[in-house]
A and B are shown apart, each in its own frame.
Chain A
Amino acid sequence: MSSLKIVDLHVQIQGKQILKGVDLQVNENEIHALMGPNGNGKSTLLAAIMGNPKYTVTKGEIIFDGQNVLEMSVDQRARAGLFLGMQYPQEISGVTNSDFLRAAINSRLEKPVSLFSFIKEMEKTIKDLEMKPDLAHRFLNEGFSGGEKKRNEIVQMKMLKPTIAMLDEIDSGLDVDALKIVANAVVDMQKTTNLGLLVVSHYERFYQLLKPTHAHVLIDGKIVTSGGIELVEKIDSDGYDWLYKQFNIETIKKAVVVSNTLGSCAVSKKV
């Protein structure tokens, strides 16, 4: 059984400690919802698992199917079966979606995929995600709307067939109909391939469509509580305040805002 195991993970960026000891295990056929207030380390966790060079792992382990992920390059992690659907997918001019995806698929194979079967699968996937048929010939994410970019991430996930996929706010920028299309595509893939999922989202609506088997809340670089779908529902109705109280977490104090003026310059004086 495929599994991604994270043990006591500490991660920093530019000297600032973001993750302060995360423990988590995602097995195939499981859907994990990862929630938490903004700026507490959810995206950092996903980026660190994928190997984003901006982030430094200072302590802990990431084990994927018995392999030490921290010793692998980004592309090796992807070829091993990890996938990260990004919050802000990059635009790459000059590189078409089809050339990019063919190169990505071929990087996993000893013998290149035949053009016929590639085109057939790509056309089907594009249709499943209800995207425009010219997607294959357009440059990678260039000129795409926010929703198209997110749907294109799912097109890539379906084509690349990872074992464990991480989706970072893939629902942001999607309208109601697109949200259903994306959720259905993810659920369909999860059922047919036993995909393991780690999903970051702020919205219960998306989780209701995905029906996560596990839910976790990440605050101040640690997972403070875990549960099932009932945890998602509670956060949707009550927010995060109860967690701060229950686990005695100090909230970040608001910085005192000091307003700067231009002094007497441009200030009219009363005569």
Chain B
Amino acid sequence: MQRLKIDDIIYNSEINSSEDYIFDVSDEKAIKLNLNLGNNVNSNLYINLLNTNSFEFNFKLETNSKMNIFMFNQNECDTKVFINANMDTYSDLNLSFAEFNDKAIEVNCNVLLNGEYATACINSATLANCNKKYTINCTHHDKNTSSTFNNYAVLLESGDLYIDATGKINAGCSGSKSHQTTKALTFSQQKQAVIFPQLLIDENDVEASHAMTLGRIDDEQMYYLQTRGISEKMATELITIGYLMPILENIHDSSVKEQYQKIVESCVNNIC
């Protein structure tokens, strides 16, 4: 696996062989990463947002390419993230966005399924104890394309969470599928998440669904954990980790996964 530090304002890269990369985005300025994944290439990409106030990530998946992207926000400052993806025929994208830090973020993600049988799965896990805003759009421009959203969030006392997730299937894109699952759990007495799961369908021959659950932690569950000697803080941590940690299942490299797991546990311990 190659590890690259991205601290140029604009960084362009072509990936034409099936290799894995870790990108550390770590300068206090706006960074733009442009990436092209060649035909038939299969790659895993781990992007650590370490200290950047704005990150724009534009990428293209060419025909029959497959990319698993895990973006981990560990920023020490508030940040804005722009993700723009273009996907050709038979390309396959698994994009995961995880953040457990205490800094505000605004994410704008646009995925265009331009070629037939292009497939995108977009996952997020968010621990919100400040402002976190996501706008995620996936637009189907060709037949038999498929998109899946899995958004999980835990909202703490000072958190404000906004998720606007839209799956759009254009006219003529028959055989396409768009499915969304959003789950938000709140420990806050005052705050609630604002979530818009939207489906804009302009074609009859499609499969589409959206499911959303939003609710406060059950008092009986907290009581049960406490009857075993677990404090309220520790119970919150346990439930939060249980709720959000599954995002790490999208990491294929065991050493990266183990490293991220420790960071997640430490972040949750600090914030909860």
A residues apposed to B, CB below 8 Å: 50, 52-53, 73-75, 77-79, 83-84, 86, 89-90, 92-96, 99-101, 103-104, 107-108, 139, 156, 160
Question: A103 near B242 (CB under 8 angstroms)?
Answer: no
Selected from B226, B229, B239, B246, the residue in CB contact (under 8 A) with A92 is: B239
A-B CB contacts (within 8 Å), total count:
72
Stretch at the interface among B186-194, B230-238, B251-259: B230-238
CB distance from B51 to the nearest CB of A (A): 31
**Are the CB atoms of A107 and B234 closer together than 8 Å?**
yes
Cβ contact within 8 Å between A74 and B242: no
**Cβ-based interface call for B223 (8 A):** yes
A251–B70 Cα distance when bound, in Å, is 66
Closest 8 CB pairs of A and B: A94-B242, A78-B229, A90-B224, A74-B226, A104-B228, A95-B242, A79-B229, A75-B226
Contact sample, A vs B, 9 pairs, CB 8 Å cutoff: A75-B226, A75-B227, A75-B232, A90-B224, A92-B242, A94-B243, A95-B242, A99-B241, A160-B228
- In the docked arrangement, what's the CA distance between A75 and B228, Å? 7
For the complex, give the distance between the alpha carbons of A108 and B225 in Å.
14
Question: Is A75 touching B243 in the complex (CB atoms < 8 A)?
Answer: no
**Residues of chain A within 8 A of B219, CB atoms compared:** 53
> Which of A75, A84, A96, A99 touches B231 (beta carbons < 8 Å)?
A75
Q: Is B34 an interface residue (CB 8 A)?
A: no
Task: Report B-chain residues with C-beta under 8 Å of the C-beta of A96.
Answer: 242
CB of A74 within 8 A of CB of B238, answer: no
Q: Distance in Å from the Cβ of B153 to the closest Cβ of chain A?
A: 13
- A103 to B238, Cβ gap below 8 A? yes
Q: How far is the CA of A73 from the CA of B241 in the complex (A)?
A: 24
B249 at interface by CB-CB < 8 Å:
no
Cβ contact within 8 Å between B221 and A90: yes
Contact with A along B41-82 (1 / 0, CB 8 A): 000000000000000000000000000000000000000000
Q: Which residue of B lies closest to A88 (CB)?
A: B220
B224–A86 touching, CB < 8 Å: yes
Distance between Cα atoms of A12 and B232 in the complex (Å): 24
Do B229 and A107 touch across chains, with their CB atoms under 8 A apart? yes
A-chain residues with CB within 8 Å of residue B221 when the two chains form the complex: 90, 92
A211 CB, min distance to chain B CBs, angstroms: 26
Cα distance A8–B215 in the bound complex, in angstroms: 40
Partner of A104, one of B230, B232, B245: B230
* Chain B residues within an 8 Å CB radius of A103: 230, 234, 238
How far is B242's CA from A139's CA once the two chains are assembled, in angstroms?
9
B residues near A74, Cβ cutoff 8 Å: 223, 226-227
Say yes or no: B228 contacts A53, CB within 8 Å.
Answer: no
On whether the beta carbons of A160 and B229 are closer than 8 Å, the reply is yes
Identify the closest chain B residue to A105 (Cβ). Answer: B229
In the complex, which of the residues A53, A75, A139 contacts B229, with contact meaning CB atoms closer than 8 Å? Answer: A75
- When distances are taken between beta carbons in the complex, the residues of chain A under 8 Å from B242 are 92-96, 99, 139
Give Cα A127 to B232, complex, Å: 31
**Would you call A100 and B225 a contact (CB within 8 A)?**
yes
Question: Which residues of the partner chain B approach A53 to less than 8 Å between Cβ atoms?
Answer: 219, 223
- The answer on a CB contact under 8 Å between A78 and B227 is yes
Contact of B238 with A90 in the complex, beta carbons under 8 Å:
no
Q: Which residues of B contact A100 (CB under 8 A)?
A: 225, 228, 230, 238
Residue among A73, A92, A93, A108 with the highest chain B CB neighbour number at 10 A: A92
Given the known inter-chain contacts A75-B232, A95-B238, A100-B238, please indicate yes or no for A89 contacting B243, CB distance below 8 A: no
A104 in contact with B223 (CB, 8 Å): no
Which residues from B are CB-within-8-Å of A99? 238, 241-242
**How far in angstroms is the closest Cβ of chain A from B118?**
32
The answer on a CB contact under 8 Å between A73 and B239 is: no
Inter-chain CA distance A198–B245, complex, in Å, is 39
Residues of B near A52 (CB, < 8 A) are 223
Judge whether A107 and B230 touch: CB under 8 Å: yes
Greatest chain A CB density within 10 A among B226, B228, B232 is at B228
Supposing A74-B226, A75-B226, A103-B238 touch, asked if A90 and B231 sit within 8 A by C-beta, the answer is no
Contact B239 A108 (CB under 8 A): no
Known A92-B242, A95-B239, A100-B238; contact A73-B228, beta-carbon cutoff 8 A: no
Task: Kindly provide the distance from the CB of A131 to the nearest chain B CB, expressed in whole angstroms.
Answer: 18
Contacts of A92 in B (CB 8 A): 221, 224-225, 239, 242
CB distance from B264 to the nearest CB of A (A): 13
Within 8 Å CB of A93, what residues of B?
A: 242
Which of chain B's residues have a CB closer than 8 A to the CB of A83? 227
